[in-house]
Chain A
Amino acid sequence: MNNYNAYSDEQLLPLLREEKPVCDYAFDVLFNRYGSKLFSYCLFLTRNRSESNQVFHDAWLKFFLFIKSGKCVEKVLPFLILTVKHLIYDNARKINRNKKIRNELLTLSDWDSKIENTSRKQDNNELIELIHVAVDSLEDIYKEAFILKRFQELSNEEIAKLCNESVECIRKRITRATNMVKKILEPYIKEFNEK
């Protein structure tokens, strides 16, 4: 078996159209490369694990069928993120969830119950919970920019494309969102540093 892990996305995408087992190996590498990032995005947007599972599942199905149908994808993660966004908005439209989402802003205890309990094991996991809460308190435009930049590690250009904004605008949003999160977390971080 070739070491497909060393392949770039551009090399792997055409392999998805190949016969088994090549397409299986290529898909597995892409799934492992972007699965966690996409799932975190799903969790941020839905704030619900079961719904995240559903959206995540459907996004990969759409992506795979899209490639199999012979169409081209420029960048894998932005494509998957866009697919997730569309899926969530579609679901929201269907069940008129917009109001519901706003009413469902999570408290810290909610995060505790919905994110795996392993988070309690280490200070880092406590800090990541706090970051979640801080991010969740941001306005949607800042939140999205922050998540895509910090968690999904997309470039400013990729985020700009996803959000239909200019690169400069996205850069400002990211800077502002990061400073806002830092302000919220400053006392906690000091506490962690003192530990």
Chain B
Amino acid sequence: MEYEDKLVEFIDGELPEEEERELFSMISMDDSLRGEYKSLLAITNTIKASSGFYAPGTALKASVYRDLNISMPVRHTPAFAKLIQGSKWHFLSGGIGALLATSVFMVSTSFFSTENRQATPLKMNKPDAVQQIESPNDLIKSNMNNIITNKKHNVIISENLKKENIMSEPVPEQSNHNLLAMSEPIFIEKKSIKWNEPELSDNINLSDITEQKNELQLIQEEDFGSDEDIGISVEGRWSTNWNIPKETLQPARISDFNNLGFEIFFNVIDNFDFGINIRQETFFTKYEENVRDDIIYKIEQNPNLTSYGISFRQKFLTDKDLQPLGQINLAVNNYGIILRPSVGILYKINDSFSLVENLEYSNMLFTHNQRWFSASKIGLNFGINYKF
């Protein structure tokens, strides 16, 4: 009997440590006491596991809430909303990461393309040490090899070029039909090289080379002389909305001008932009719900939500100051997903700043108590776009 009481005290966590050791040694020796312990555990565990067994019914809960004028919060949250709720910071850091990665990608692409442009057209391999060149033929061979590997900018020599006139040994086989680059800008240090310059000039038709040189210089000037944008722009927008359906319950309390959004656009190809955005917005919705068997509640809600999304924007007439645009946006928030097509115009104030105005239709699909609902609105956006 004494140990039975101690078993109860042990299960309640009220048995002193010393007595616990004594009890355990008794349990290990006494089969009947071990059985008692198992029974006790079964009872306490069953009671603990039975908490849901006594849950008050939804009707009872609703009646308590109604009589106290307490609003019943929405219990059900869709799985994807849980994902977002649980990882809001992941989304934010992911967005920032994507932004940085894209910036690095675009800057590096721009940098490498700059390197290539500088390297390819006119730069001919100049020997590292002029003294090592014994004859002009070595230099010709060196530059020929360079040109052979760089076929974009081959310079054609005249067909009547006689090999024996420019070099004492035969030209390699691969160069027999197309290339040799021997012109003034190529050999800047030509004075230090002892060769028969008039002889070379006589044998190479320089007109084509000079023409190509001029053309390439123009391209270079266009590429590096202008203020090229990096293809990223930011946009801030405000909007006014017309909800569908219209508000009937205290409509004056619902502000139509309460949406604010920020978006970063990346220029993917010429007139096509990809954007990531964050937006504070409201969606008005009406629905009916059976709170009790005999009562149907008509519910009107205008929740204030934060949505995260991506956009695809196509611009037209990009050479004009007033550019029409079409856009589609896909966004998610804590309660549902939003699809938002829109059309609008972009007015260029200067090279960096533009005004944006677009008309959009937003439709949010969401679930409540395992049922799907949708909320729609038409919005007119006013925004400012800054291009970097």
Stretch at the interface among A54-62, A71-79, A100-108: A54-62
Are A64 and B43 also in contact (CB < 8 A) when A35-B55, A56-B60, A57-B63 are? no
Of chain B, the residue at the smallest CB distance from A179 is B4
Cβ < 8 Å to A, chain B residues 1-55: 4-5, 8-9, 12, 14, 35-36, 38-40, 42-44, 46-47, 49-55
A133 proximity list for chain B (CB < 8 A): none
Q: Are B42 and A24 touching (Cβ within 8 A)?
A: no
Cβ < 8 Å to B, chain A residues 30-66: 31, 35-37, 39-40, 43, 53, 56-57, 60-61, 64
Of chain A, the residue at the smallest CB distance from B4 is A179
B39 proximity list for chain A (CB < 8 A): 182, 185-186, 189-190
Q: Are A60 and B68 touching (Cβ within 8 A)?
A: yes
Q: Is the interface of B mostly helix, strand, loop or mixed?
A: helix
Nearest chain A CB to B203's CB is how many angstroms away?
86
Nearest chain B CB to A180's CB is how many angstroms away?
11
Q: Measured between alpha carbons, how far is A119 from B50 in the docked complex, in Å?
A: 10
Q: Are B12 and A128 touching (Cβ within 8 A)?
A: no
Number of B interface residues at 8 Å Cβ cutoff, please give it: 36
Across the interface, B40 reaches (CB within 8 A) one of A119, A182, A193, namely A182
Q: How many A-B residue pairs have CB under 8 A?
A: 104
Q: Measured between alpha carbons, how far is A127 from B64 in the docked complex, in Å?
A: 31
Stretch at the interface among A7-15, A91-99, A136-144, A170-178: A170-178
Across the interface, A53 reaches (CB within 8 A) one of B12, B50, B56, namely B56
The yes or no answer to A114 lying at the interface (CB within 8 A) is no
Q: Are B42 and A193 touching (Cβ within 8 A)?
A: yes
Q: Are B42 and A35 touching (Cβ within 8 A)?
A: no
Q: Measured between alpha carbons, how far is A51 from B229 in the docked complex, in Å?
A: 76
A residues contacting B by CB (< 8 A) are 20-21, 23-25, 27-28, 31, 35-37, 39-40, 43, 53, 56-57, 60-61, 64, 115-116, 118-119, 124-125, 127-128, 131, 149-151, 156, 171, 174-175, 178-179, 181-182, 185-186, 189-190, 192-193
